[in-house]
Structure 1
Amino acid sequence: MPHVIVKLWPGKTEDQKTKLAEAITREVTQILGNGEASVSVSFEEVESSRWQEDVYLPDIAAQPDRLYKKPGYEM
C-alpha cells in the first residue's frame, strides 16, 4: 500500500516511465510515511482515440469527488 496507477497515451520511453515511477515513489514515501518497499506504480497506456471513453468519462467525469487535481487547472 499504496498502489499508484498512471494512465497515459502510448509513446513515453521506458526511461521516462522509470523516472516517473521513481519520483512518485519518492513523494509517496515522503508524504505518506510509507517505506519504499510498500509502494507500487504501474502504467496503463491508453490510445488517444480511446481516452474519452476509457479514462475521461469513467475516471474523471463520473468521479469528480475523487479528483485532487482536475484537468485544465494548475495547482
Structure 2
Amino acid sequence: MFSIYLRSMWTRKRTVVAGRTDGDNDWTVYRDRQPVGRVYATHISDPTLRWMWIVQVGPTGHGYATSIDAALDEVRRRVG
C-alpha cells in the first residue's frame, strides 16, 4: 500500500496592469494556478523593507519584507 502526498504548486508571474509590467519588481503569486497574492518593490522611507506582500484570498493581509524571497514566504505561510 502507498499514499500519495499532494503538495501545492507555487508559481509567480509578472504582474501586468493596463498592458504594462514593472519587470522583476512586481509579481502575482499563484497557488495551484489560482492567483492568491502579490509581491512588489516599493519606495517607502525604510529601504530595509522594500518588498510589500499582499494576500488576496482567505484571511487577507499585507505587510513589508526585507527581500522578495521573504515576501513570497510570507504569502505562502499565510495562504497555507
TM over 0.5: no
> Larger % of strand: which?
2
> Larger % of helix: which?
1
Say which structure, 1 or 2, has more relative contact order (CA 8 Å, 6+ apart).
Answer: 1
